[in-house]
Chain A
Amino acid sequence: MTTRIFGSGIRRREDPRLITGGATYTDDVQLPGMLYAAMLRSPHAHAKINSIDITSAVGARGVVAVYTGADIEGVLNGIPCAWVPPGADLVAVTHPAIAKDVVRYQGDAVAVVVAEDRYQAEDALELINVDYEILPSVTNPEAAMKPGAPQLHEDAPNNQAFHWVSEGGDTEAAFSAADVIVKDTIIQQRLIPNAMEPRSAVATWTKATGELTLWSTSQNPHICRFLASLVTGLGEHKIRVIATEVGGGFGSKIPVYADEMITSFCSMQLGRPVKWTATRSEGFQSTIHGRDHVEYVEMAATQEGKITGVRSKIYAGMGAYLSTAGPGVPTILHGLIYCGPYDIGATKADVYGVFSNATPTDAYRGAGRPEATFLIERLVDLLAVELGTDPAELRRKNLIPKFEEGHDVISGLTYDSGDYEPLMDMVLGHADYSALRQEQAQMRENGHYMGIGVTCYNEICGLGPSQVAGAVGFGGGLWESAIVRFHPTGKVHVYSGISPHGQGEETTFAQIVSDELGVDVDDVTITHGDTSNTPMGWGTYGSRTTSVGAGAMVIAARKIKEKARLLAAHLLEAAESDVEYRDGQFSVKGSPDQSKSIQEMATMANVAWNLPEGMEPGLEASAFYDPPNFVYPFGTHLAVVDVDKDNGHIVVRRYIAGDDCGPQINPMIVEGQVHGGVVQGIGQALWEHAIYDDNGQLVTGSMTDYALPRAHLLPNIESLSTVTPSPHNPLGVKGVGETGSIASTVTVYNAVIDALRPLGVTRIDMPLTPEKVWQAIRQGHGS
């Protein structure tokens, strides 16, 4: 079978096992003699630990050990932060895996109980007596930098974790020369990622060999191993991290958490396997949160509507400690994309990273880019109102014209390829934008409030060249690698260092390799997620899995194809230059009946009975791919909402997502990613909010209060696309994992504000709950 499968929406091969309970997630791992760990977490946002009495817990039924911060001191190093943006004076505060003297957020671990079963471990938690001296706390990042605010870390005065400024062009000049300036205050509320699978770890220490095996719910097992070696002091060659089956992450499983290090510590102390799995409530408090910005933003423009500058001052909440990639999110992944899809002459991001008594934040689907897109697109809408022009037309006027081989923007990036207007036209046409505007006008006359939001975005993903990673302070490389191996029977095995966890790349990778090697897609197996049998890789995040990970596979596949061709020439007794490859067959030029299949060559290479002079046996290759640039997907999204002025209730009537992620390997999977991302973004606009009360208690700490998007509250998502290949990776593909969440929050938000414009409403803090909308309507202005 040799027809090309790139581009067909075949079903996801991972689904049968995922939806029938056939997958082995970390919590499914059972080992002989296994013990269970449970964490005692601080109920307070900020407190001094005067003493901890573990006596009764130690004596409780089934309890094997109880450890506190004193026990890990000098044994486990602190939990590291691995992204230090340059020139930001970042204070890398110590983050002990178990708090010893001070707890700094509700959920900070203070002790761990290890018991024969999980229930005994949970029960014993209640027997630990901690004498806390409650300290004043602060959770809002702006408030945390005000004079007199409670201080979290001695070495970080004013709770300042870092101060990062990035300017492109001369923003001062742009703003002083501007005809029009629009401003807004934007609260990017705290969000709580909720992967279906809770975080979990199983650690087993083999004393005789000095080896640690750690099953961990990680998006990046190789990074996990790397950081685990820093925390435990073990060599990387003595650590095996397994994350073959991970039930969603959305960024929240990038970080290396205290919990898996504590679990490892317990196993190393006790010489028995130890499992820890977060309860859902524990996840709400201790898994990283996302967003949490207080932003003051402004945009400069000419009277004709040419955008000339964007600048921001941002207080970005880091939470109590710096999570693995936390500082990179509001800086590198945010401030550098202030141009969006527009030609803007000057941009400046002025970002304070701030400690507060809240759960640490890190990358959450979109990571920095939804925030950037939100502020740009919000300001464009405000500008359209100010200038009295149509917001879609204002966008069109500022779009960067088509480019195929790179376009430099003032913020310092070089976009790879883009052709923005056709997709915008497609979306506006599909929506019948002018008819929508007419309908809106009519409805308003009858006292009904319908709104339209249009967003153009351009994002940066496919992270990225390793040289840039180094330059922007990312504590690792950003290349990927793959081993492609033909078995003797002609079946193919691919080993990748990247780590998909629900996105469907086992399917798309197999499609790519099947095409490259001309073998049936079912003859290709993709193995990932286990550091002991996969080559080094940096993991799945930043919509990089396909553009970078598959890049390595394609190169490796091409290497073995060439080797197979040389072998075929040898066996066909033809000159090497006369043998050509087509659809899995090697044939002699001019005599197509003289041919050998690549799978036959796999057999012949593996048995090695008759190889050309100097050729090694076997048919496999490994490749490392370091992309020369990021990739820049783009698109236009459009939302139509109806707002009930009596109760503030919002219905998203239509949602149209137009995305260009380059050539689509599997359009069904692309659509699935778009749907998921759009829904997550709408969740931020309308429902989701991690609320802390004045004492730093997480009020929305469960599924009953933290409203995730639900199917019956969402419209049918209409998905459109154009295809603009990236010029620089072997497949021309871009990323699509985050585009939805990057565009949809502001699209829906803008639609709601557009609906309420006749009522004098200019802004409402997210999420746009009915009450907030109703209050804004009553007050007739921004609330």
Chain B
Amino acid sequence: MFATEFEYQRATSVSEAIQLLSNNPGAKILAGGHSLLPMMKLRLTSIPMLIDIGGINELRGISVENNILRIGALTTHAEIAESYDVKDNAGILWETAYGIGDPQVRNRGTIGGNISHADPASDLPTVLKVMDAKFTIQGTGGLMRGGSRVVSADDFFIGPFETDLGENEILTAIEMPVLMANQHAEYAKMAHPATSFAVVGAGVVLTVEDDVCTAARVAVGGFTPVPTRGLTVEQALIGKVLNEENIASATILIHGDLGSDVFGDVFASAEYRQAMAAIELKHAIFHATGLAHHN
């Protein structure tokens, strides 16, 4: 299909991009284009102006400082999947990035675009939620004038394709605490065979001391409006030895954490996905804790 006519601008700096955004109502940021362009081509949306941020180098790059992993919004999935900084400090993200789409999607798609788009079927929102990530957002105020703010992953995602980003704001970076030696993290997904998008995705970050789980962040996504924290699952895991029995009885509780707003489609019904949430969570925890091979 063919998009309706649109204007195209290439921004050279974040402030210029923000300027263009605020001067052109309805304008949108173009990052990798892998979510935006298909929607335009299918004429699901018509956008008067695209502001290409592809040339803004300050939005790229991966670094680790003071136990914080920082990833520029324009970093591609492929760059994340090839980064030792990510592998060593946030293996869950590293592996997830490799499981996104296919090589073309990973080479073009960006972490910032993935999050800003907030497709419920995306993997990264779920993973960044359990990683307790923080998103740096810049708006018209400008960095120097306090126009920058930080929002946690827990607060950023509001609904399907809906985030806390304001109209004239840009997501510039994603930061998350690096995983410690006693933390075990894993993302398990049932992938749609056509796209690899999550039919059901489950992420866990577990802190284990002396075989006992002392802290847990658990979320499932892919079929709920935003990634859903499994708060009761977390409660049930904390204080427990992570054996098969305890894991099974905790993960089954995810049903209570899921609201009634659960999606299904011709490939996988809501009922099925609900049932799979516990299974994928179990897989994630088994893998995180090295129990997987027993299964």
- In contact, A769 and B268 (Cβ under 8 angstroms): yes
The answer to whether A3 has its CB under 8 Å from any CB of chain B is no
| Interface flags, B1-33, vs A, CB<8A=1, else 0 | 110110000000000000000000000000000
Q: Is A591 an interface residue (CB 8 A)?
A: no
On whether A281 and B266 interact (CB within 8 A), knowing A649-B190, A710-B193, the answer reads no
**Cβ of A301 to closest chain B Cβ, rounded Å:** 37
Chain A residues with Cβ below 8 Å from B197 are 704
Question: A757-778: contact bitstring with B at CB < 8 Å (1 yes, 0 no)?
Answer: 0000000000001110011000
The residue in chain B whose Cβ has the minimal distance to the Cβ of A683 is B193
CB–CB A281/B42 < 8 A:
yes
Chain B residue contacts of A686, Cβ below 8 A: 193
**Contact partner, B194, options A119, A280, A649, A708, Cβ 8 Å:** A708
When the two chains form their complex, are residues B1 and A770 in contact, meaning their CB atoms are under 8 A apart?
A: no
Give the chain A neighbours of B131 by CB distance below 8 A: none
CA distance A703 to B265 in the complex (A): 15
- Find the A residue at minimum CB distance from B121: A704
Task: Kindly list chain A residues whose C-beta atoms are within 8 Å of the C-beta of B275.
Answer: 774
Contact A281–B1 (Cβ < 8 Å):
yes
**B195 proximal to A (CB < 8 A):** yes
Closest Cβ of chain B to A588, distance in Å, is 62
Q: Does residue B269 face the partner (Cβ distance < 8 Å to A)? A: yes
The reply to whether B194 and A691 contact each other, CB–CB distance below 8 Å, is no
Q: In the complex, what residues of B have CB within 8 A of residue A703's CB?
A: 194-195
Find chain A residues with CB under 8 A from B5 CB: 119, 123
Find residues 215-269 in chain B having any chain A CB closer than 8 Å to their own CB.
265-269
Number of residues from B at the complex interface, CB < 8 A = 22
Partner of A647, one of B2, B42, B102, B279: B279
The docked-state distance in angstroms from the alpha carbon of A707 to that of B265 is: 14
Is B272 an interface residue when CB atoms closer than 8 A count as contact?
Answer: yes
- Tell me the minimal C-beta distance from B161 to chain A in angstroms: 15
* Among A646, A703, A771: residue with most chain B CB under 10 A: A771
Interface of B is mostly: loop
CA gap between A703 and B102 in the complex, in Å = 13
A713 touches B2 (CB 8 A): no
Q: How large is the interface on A (under 10, 10 to 19, 20 to 34, 35 or more residues)?
A: 20 to 34
How far, in Å, is A458 (CB) from chain B's closest CB? 31
Q: Let me know if B279 and A770 touch, CB within 8 A.
A: no
The reply to whether A771 and B272 form a contact with Cβ atoms under 8 Å apart is yes
Q: A281-B1, A281-B42 are known contacts. Are A771 and B193 too (CB-CB below 8 A)?
A: no
8 Å CB contact of A705 from B2, B194, B276, B280: B194
Given contacts A281-B42, A769-B267, whether A707 and B1 have CB atoms under 8 Å apart is no
Chain A residues, CB < 8 A from B1: 122, 279-281
A123 to B266, CA, bound (A): 31
Partner of A706, one of B4, B194, B268: B194
- Chain B 187-215 residues near chain A, CB threshold 8 A: 190, 192-195, 197
Name the CB-closest residue of A to B265: A705
Shortest distance between the CB of B266 and any CB in chain A (Å): 5
CA distance A279 to B267 in the complex (A): 24
Contact B42 A705 (CB under 8 A): no
Which chain B residues lie closer than 8 Å to A649 at the CB level?
A: 190
Q: Which residues of B contact A (CB under 8 A)?
A: 1-2, 4-5, 42, 102, 190, 192-195, 197, 265-269, 272, 275-276, 279-280
Query: Can you spell out 15 A-B residue pairs with CB atoms less than 8 angstroms apart?
Result: A119-B2, A122-B1, A122-B2, A279-B1, A647-B279, A687-B193, A704-B194, A705-B266, A707-B194, A707-B267, A710-B102, A713-B193, A771-B269, A774-B275, A775-B272
**Told that A703-B195, A708-B194 touch, could you supply 16 new A-B pairs with CB distance under 8 A?**
A122-B1, A122-B2, A279-B1, A646-B279, A647-B280, A649-B190, A689-B266, A691-B266, A702-B42, A703-B194, A704-B195, A705-B266, A707-B193, A707-B267, A769-B268, A770-B272
